[in-house]
Copies of this chain bind each other. A is one copy, B any other.
Amino acid sequence: MISMMKQECESRISRLQSVMKEQSINAFLVTQNIDIYYFTGSMQTGYLFIPQSEEPVFFVKRSVARAIEEACVPVLPLGSFRQFAETLAAQFPSVWPLSSAEGSIAPAVIATEYDVLPVQQYERLQAVLPANVTWTDGSLLLRELRMVKSPWEVERIMTAARAAHHAMEQAAAYVRPGMMELELIAHIEYAFRMQGHIGMIRMRGYNQELVTGMVASGEAGAEPTYFDGPAGGRGLTPASPQGSSRKVIAVNEPILVDIGCCIDGYVIDQTRTIVIGKLDDELQQAYEASEAILRAAEERLKPGIVCETLYADALQMARNYGLSDHFMGFGADQVRFLGHGIGMEIDEWPVLARGFKQPLQAGMVIAIEPKFTFPGRGVVGIEDTYLITETGYKRLTTAPGGLTSIPAPQ
């Protein structure tokens, strides 16, 4: 079962190796499940060792049998972790002339993922590999590499987008006043799961968690939370303080349906606002402002535009509407971005935020999510996911835009 085209892996590895050359990194030791999958097509446990110019080897802890079936790179059993230095020296005598038995020892620069690797595992690696290794943080490099998607990856994101379109239709057909948010999100999750959603959305950020997003209605949607997004949601208890709650959905309040799924490793992100009955004028205008901000962003969406410019322009538009206090959260709980890269994780690069001075490039995939929060009343907004193309963009989410208005039951 080789699910990933061998040329995908080869191209990714070769892109990594050329950056490694530029940065004088001798080897990349890849440790995280998603990163390992990205370069090998397998998500088994172990260490992927990528030298600057030779073929990598995936040293697998478990399951070796499964990794051999799946991986596009050579697989070897990791064996004794204490002997990892010797195992590497035997496989890479030219790039890894570090065996202390050899006498003169060349120093090597090894990169790994400081943004996700726990300190304990890092210290164990430092202890078993030679003391003259210079360790360096390769997080930035990997995030930059992964932010430009191949057509193969975009195809998977589009499959997830179709699932989100379907799930949104299911939600709109199922929602009714008197139903708990929890009941509606469970219905959506069932729809997602039956289409092959893996059951959770992966996040790279420490302490960040996501299942499928949320249904958040009225004041519950506007409750602030730790979650690194514009709308948190009340959640079920303080032990799960985000997303859908047991609040009962009512008429004439915004129902934010901010959902995504992960199919064959790739993620989509999409938000629509539903109302049963009618929003009051202020919320209606805020919803329309969110659509206008999204349309204005779309107009500028093409290679070359600087990420933070898109955020600054959106913030300026919110100010012009007199809504800047409500934009992307409220008060102290506002987040300072307009959108984020997505791929295998939902918090990828680039981020449309102040400080992100890089220009958009063709192949980036970005979710843009203008939203407005009104404490005690709710959150309104819209979110679509876009591929940046050579000349502009392609919207990957296929669900129709606009406020979904459902007549209130008589």
Q: Contact residues of A with B, CB < 8 Å?
A: 1, 3-4, 31-33, 37, 41-45, 61-66, 70, 77, 114-123, 137, 139, 182-183, 185-186, 189-190, 193-194, 196, 198-200, 202, 206-207, 209, 211-212, 223-226, 228, 232, 236-241, 243, 246, 262, 264-266, 332-333, 344
Q: In the complex the two chains form, is B241's CB within 8 Å of A43's CB?
A: yes
Identical chains in the assembly: 2
A1 → chain B, closest Cβ, in Å?
Answer: 7
Candidates B32, B114, B240, B332; contact of A265 at CB < 8 Å: B240
* Residue in B115, B118, B239 whose CB lies within 8 Å of A114: B118
Name which residue of chain B comes closest to A65, CB basis. Answer: B224
- Chain B residues, CB < 8 A from A223: 66
Question: Known interface pairs A43-B238, A238-B4. Does A193 touch B200 (Cβ–Cβ under 8 Å)?
Answer: no
Q: Which residues of B contact A183 (CB under 8 A)?
A: 194
- Pairwise interchain contact A189-B182, C-beta atoms closer than 8 A: no
Instruction: Select from chain B the residue with minimum beta-carbon distance to A240.
Output: B198
Chain B residues with Cβ under 8 A from A199's Cβ?
189, 200, 211-212, 240, 243
Give which listed residue, B139, B200, B226, B232, contacts A120 with CB less than 8 A: B139
**Cα of A305 to Cα of B202 in the assembled complex, Å:** 39
- On chain B, the residues within 8 Å of A344 by CB distance are 239
> For the complex, would chain A's binding face be called helix, strand, loop or mixed by DSSP majority?
loop
Which chain B residues lie closer than 8 Å to A64 at the CB level?
A: 332-333
Tell me which residues across on chain B come within 8 A of A121, comparing CB atoms: 206
Would you give the shortest CB distance from A58 to chain B, in whole angstroms? Answer: 12
Chain B residues with CB under 8 A of A115: 118-120
Partner of A42, one of B37, B117, B238, B262: B238
Please tell me if the beta carbons of B66 and A3 are within 8 angstroms of each other in the complex: no
Known: A1-B238, A44-B225. 16 other contacts (CB 8 A): A3-B238, A3-B239, A33-B226, A37-B238, A42-B241, A43-B241, A62-B226, A65-B333, A66-B225, A66-B226, A66-B232, A114-B119, A185-B193, A198-B211, A236-B264, A240-B265
Contact pick for A190, options B62, B189, B262, CB 8 Å = B189
